[in-house]
Structure 1
Amino acid sequence: MGHEGFAEVTRLAAAREELLSAVDLPGDAESVAVADADGRTLAEPVAAERDVPGFDRAAMDGYAVVATDTHDASGHSPVELDVVDSAVGRRQARYVHTGSPMPDGADAVVKVEETEERGDRIEMFAAVPPGENVAPAGEDVEAGDALYEPGRRLRPSDLGLLKAGGHRSVAVRPRPRVSVIPTGEELVDFDPGYGETTETNGLTVSRLVERWGGEANYRDIVGDDEDALRAAIERDTDHDIVVTTGGSSVGERDLIADVVADLGEVLCHGVALKPGHPVGYGVVDGTPVLTLPGYPVSCLVCAVQLLRPAVARAGGFEPAPFPEFEATLDRKIAGEVGVRSFVRVRKTGEGTVEPVRGGAGVLSSVAAADGWVVVPESLEGVAAGEPVVVQRWESFY
């Protein structure tokens, strides 16, 4: 299938599969402190080393008692017990705070609002069974319980459980190292003059790589010069993935495909997705090189669809599904048979969305969007009034 000057265009699913086959699996594990493991991927199974909690504890503020002493208590006929500050025996009670260890002898807690002080005695207005308002040792997890399997990308709540379960450090896979090389003679870092453009693709892609679990090396801009491009790619083949932005199409100044072919092998040049069909990839010295388009929206779409799963594979984990919501289209959206289209949409009301105006070069259209609708290759578009699923692609995981 040809498309706009490309001899052959690959379907997105096939392109993704071929790119992933060129990505190496992660190397040897490394040990990191639990506090530093947010977003890292476990390399080994982890089990709890101790009970959580490590003792029976009060689940409410109140009085620890022997449950059988309260069987006859009611709002009209309270039971009166002696207050103590040591172990609890029959007809005795001891005040406890939420989270306090249960005193020896006690097996339940009467909530403080169901009691009333009477000097050195306490009246109970509610009966409690054994275990009431008590969190037993190991209620959360017991020593030896499996916590997580290899391949899990750790979240902040995971770190809390790991620490509670007795772990100071964990074995994780190394972060994939990704070189991000912005290219283009017209690019400048700041203060563009006439005919110049502020570099944004490399910045955006490198920050996405970090969000996706990789370690990005955001390189300086490289102009449209074959020797300079060749040197930039060769310099970074020690990374897990090399990414270039710009110069990926088939114009006179689009040199990157020829450079990759000269250094190694181009596996694909042109993918059936919109926006972003000029994307390509190849291999240089065993390192996959992904050549993203220069238009900002095209660059983002291709990064999400191809680079994100590649980073996940290099990191040894599965990328999480994007959050989604269902909505109804206010206006029709266009597609193209044989091409998978990603149409940016924004909310227009309760349960309705409309396409965001702006082409592949309009970066503000991404900021204005609440997500995108994926139009499959089999459709020419989706009519107004039809239900759609909106992907929130710019999520953290």
Structure 2
Amino acid sequence: MNGADRDRTESGFKSRTRLEDAREILEAAVSSGASENDGVSKFEPAPEPEPERLGLPAADGRVLAEAVRAIRDVPHYERAAMDGYAVRAADTFGASARSPAVLEVVDLEDESTAADPVGPDTAARVHTGSELPAGADAVVMVEHANVLEAESTSGARTAVEITDAVAVGENVAPIGEDVEEGQVLFEAGHRLRPSDLALLRSTGVSNVAVRPKPTVGVVPTGEELVHREPEPGEVVETNGLTVSQLIERWGGRATYRDVVTDDRDALRVAIQRDLTKDVVVTTGGSSVGERDLLPEVIDDLGEVLVHGVAIKPGYPVALGIVEDTPVLALPGYPVACIVTAVQFLRPLLRRLEGAPVDGDPHATTEARLERKIPSDIGSRTFARVRLEGSVGDNEEGEESERHEDAAEAPTAIPTRTSGAGVLSSVALADGWVVVEESLEGIPAGETVTVEHWEAHP
């Protein structure tokens, strides 16, 4: 071990950056494309990516690159808002159950019907969504109409008694009532949902410009990792798999690489290979042990911006930039890897995709804590919990309402508050409780917010 290695492995982390500060440092470097070293900018801003134009089905879940406007009115014709009879409102003036207005019913399918089929003292049967026939200016609900049969010299005819007067425009959806032509439907940065696609199609929009998916090279590292059945001393690679799937779920496009051993040259080549991606993510080798070489490799190729963050688990994370590309070195312990991916990679992908970082929070549930969660002051703790009882998830990711009766709230049971390598503690949990840096744990019985970080965005 050389002198530099000895200093690193023996000194450990002398200080840890606050989570918010670490995020801001990374955000500033990526946003400006610059990292200052003796007043000299070493990095240039990346060019704005060209948008993709996609048909609506393929655009589901993508982020708009530009605002979208309605091409046509919705509805694009005056339509009946109720089942009933289209009439001239003036013909119903004064109508009541005691003194109904009697109108002749015209057949809209009769070719001999006039150009304006609804004339004085006539009505036409319509259904919800039907086009309002010419001449009519209101609709009488079917509940307020009684059908009459009558005989005339020309044969049987139908009349209707109107038992309730209507005003002009009553029970009629005017043109553009829902959406007006030219109206801005969604601004740039909006992530499209299935209901959004339906609205776009109804207004005549068939394709949209979206931001390209951020590309990420995922490089698992560690000489002990294997993709096959493990021998004693070997560990099945899972971190790269987990991070790759999270990237896909978060709107990115992952390239999952083979395991790279703990060798400076091999790590250097692996990082350089993926500098054409928007982000490079490594797993393992980020701490201060003899085989934790990644922070030094990143610093040799570019610059380490942050190494060591005040979170638990996950403090050995390293954040850097190499040739304008952000490089995130996530810890090798599985839980720490997941926590740091959620805290750093998820918001970074949203920023690169042009979506609001703070506008997409995790779904949450308010719950009563069954057991105390211990924590160290100065570090933000992510305590894994499972939920029992009535769980009222907030599927929109907005803050959940607290249960007025604590007895009705679900119970949050800690599955683990320590043990960054215990993967089952995450897989068997429903979410985690965040313990702020200023708290020395949370006592049992408190109402806590459980973040469902693994729910779909």
Cα-Cα RMSD: 2.3
Query: Equivalents in 1 of 2:194, 2:336: separation in Å?
Result: 32
Q: Tell me the equivalent position of 1:59.
A: 81
**Which of the numbers 20, 26, 29 marks the counterpart of 1:19?**
26
- The whole-number CA distance in structure 2 between the counterparts of 1:204 and 1:249 is 20
Gaps of 5+ in 2: 1-8, 32-45, 109-116, 150-157, 390-407
Letter in 2 for 1:347: L
1:170-213: CA deviation from partner (whole Å, max 9, x where unpaired): 22222211111222223233433433333222222122222222
Distance between the aligned counterparts of 1:198 and 1:94, measured in 2? Answer: 73
1:299-343: CA deviation from partner (whole Å, max 9, x where unpaired): 111011111111111112213122223222221111111111111
| Pair 1:394-2:432 in alignment | no
Find the aligned partners of 1:190 and 1:70 in 2 and give their Cα distance: 81
Looking at structure 1, the residues matched to 420 and 123 of structure 2 have their Cα atoms a distance apart, in angstroms, of 72
1:121 equivalent in alignment to 2:159: yes
Aligned equivalents of 2:101 and 2:450: distance in 1? 60
Match of 1:324 in 2: 364
Change in 2 beyond 3 A, CA 1:221/1:112: farther
Matched length = 396
Shift of 1:76: 4.9
Q: The residue matched to 2:342 in structure 1 has which SS?
A: helix
The Cα shift of 1:167 comes to 1.9
- Residue 270 of structure 1 corresponds to 308
SS at match of 1:20: helix
Provide, for residues 355-394 of structure 1, a one-character-per-residue CA deviation record: whole Å limited to 9, x for no partner.
1237222222223322221111111111112222222222
Q: Which amino acid in 2 is paired with 1:362?
A: V
2:52 alignment partner in structure 1: 30
Report which stretch shifted further, 117-126 or 334-343.
117-126
Q: Does residue 1:79 correspond to 2:79, yes or no?
A: no
Q: Identity over aligned residues, as a percent? A: 60
Deviation of the 1:77 alpha carbon? 4.7
Alignment of 1:1-397 (within 5 A): 5-23=12-30, 26-86=48-108, 87-119=117-149, 120-319=158-357, 320-349=360-389, 350-351=408-409, 352-357=411-416, 359-397=419-457
User: How far apart, in 2, do the equivalents of 1:266 and 1:91 lie?
Assistant: 83
Distance 2:100 2:226 in 1: 80
Q: CA offsets, 1:15-58, max 9 Å, x none? A: 11111223256423332223322222222222222211111111
Moved more, 207-216 or 23-32: 23-32
Partner amino acid, structure 2, of 1:341: T
Greater Rg by CA: 2
Offset, 1:75: 4.2
Q: Is the 8 A contact 1:346 1:355 kept in 2?
A: yes
Identify the range of structure 1 (89-98 vs 271-280) with the bigger mean alpha-carbon deviation: 89-98
Mark the runs of 5 or more structure 1 residues left unpaired by the alignment.
none
Contact 1:8–1:269 (Cα < 8 Å) also in 2:
no
**In structure 2, what is the Cα distance between the partners aligned to 1:364 and 1:267?**
32
TM-score after normalising by structure 1: 0.92
TM-score normalized by the length of structure 2: 0.81
SS in structure 2 at match of 1:334: coil
Change (3 A) 1:74 1:363: farther
The alpha-carbon deviation at position 4 of structure 1 amounts to 8.4
Distance between the aligned counterparts of 1:136 and 1:223, measured in 2?
68
Q: Secondary structure at the match of 2:347?
A: helix
Structure 1 residues 72-91: Cα deviation after superposition (integer angstroms, max 9, x where no partner): 44445543322213321122
